[in-house]
Amino acid sequence: MSRILELYEKIKHAIVWRITAQSTSLLAYIQRCRFDWFIRPKAMPIESLDGSALVFAPHQDDETLGCGGLIALKRQQQIPVNVAFLTDGSACYDSIALAGITVMPTIDIIRLRKQEATEALGQLGVNANSIHFLDQPDQFLDHQALEHDALINSLVDLLNEIKPQDIYVTYRYDVHGDHQVSYRLVHEAIVRSGRRVRLWEYPIWSFWSHKHLSGLVRNQRRNLYQLPIQRVLAQKQTALKCYKSQFQTLPGTMSPVLSADFMNYLSSSATEVFVMTQF
């Protein structure tokens, strides 16, 4: 990828991230209230957690934000849970760094995010041997055309090795580009593998966008499920605290990567929401 294209993509991502994804507009707030009061309670309950799981997360923290309660509940029942991170998380500061400032060397960001992910998942009951780092470039999952087949093949190999009954990945229309691409990659890998599984999508940034949350309500309501996580909510909150790089304001940055409002909303809900597809 040329330097000009890479710079363009980073600028575009910064605009989307800061203006769209993290928007706390009145419309988004109203839609969240509508969703929590009228839609979430009517979602179909997940009555059984039986089934080994493979959770795909675009970045280190998505797995805990979106389905940390589910992971903890499954592990309490000694159900196998593996977690695979698609990207290396190295671009997390691109949209909040002050002009000309390098928050920390890329290699240190990658190391830190892997360390935080391992600690967070440990709090949820997942051991290090069940964590897989695929190390794709952060923010550029959709620009690796030459490596596309190789990446799909690696996902298929992982599916065939772990043989999960349930697969979890970010919601197909989630605001963040890497989240959308992660869904498409995992979906293609499932189809190519021919495995019979249940695919569960977990929304994250959609809760912070009026447009995307409206789409979730309008288009996916019939496939919408909810999971009560009250008895492991404190465990999920403890796991989220491991991701200090994401909620602390570091020298050279304008704000935390994840705002306090965003963290409070996703860490305080007593239910997690999923969209399910049967393969």
The token pair at 62 is 């998505």
* Selection from 35, 72, 58, 83 nearest residue 227 by Cα: 72
pTM, full prediction: 0.89
| Alpha-carbon gap, residue 82 to 161, rounded angstroms | 11
pLDDT at site 210: 82
pLDDT at site 21: 47
Alpha helices in the chain (DSSP H): 3-15, 26-34, 62-76, 106-124, 148-162, 177-193, 210-220, 233-240, 244-247, 260-268
pLDDT at site 198: 95
| Alpha-carbon gap, residue 69 to 268, rounded angstroms | 11
**Distance between alpha carbon 199 and the CA centroid of its chain, in Å?**
14
Is 268 within 8 Å of 229 (Cβ atoms)?
no
Taking the chain (279 residues) in consecutive chunks of 10 residues, what is each chunk's mean pLDDT? 60 55 68 89 91 97 98 98 97 86 92 98 98 93 75 96 97 92 96 95 92 77 88 98 94 90 93 91
| Alpha-carbon gap, residue 143 to 154, rounded angstroms | 17
pLDDT at site 254: 87
Half-sphere exposure of 261 (CA within 13 A, CB side): 12
| Alpha-carbon distances of 39 from 31, 178, 223, rounded to whole Å | 10, 26, 12
The domain spans of the chain are 3-278
Is 85 within 8 Å of 57 (Cβ atoms)?
yes
The token pair at 148 is 């596309």
In degrees to the nearest 10, what's the CA dihedral of 186, 273, 45, 222? -70
Q: Report the chain's C-alpha Rg in angstroms.
A: 18
What phi and psi values does residue 231 have, to the nearest 5 degrees? Answer: -75, -10
CATH fold of the domain at 3-278: Rossmann fold (3.40.50)
Burial class (CB in 10 A: 0-12, 13-18, 19+), 239: buried
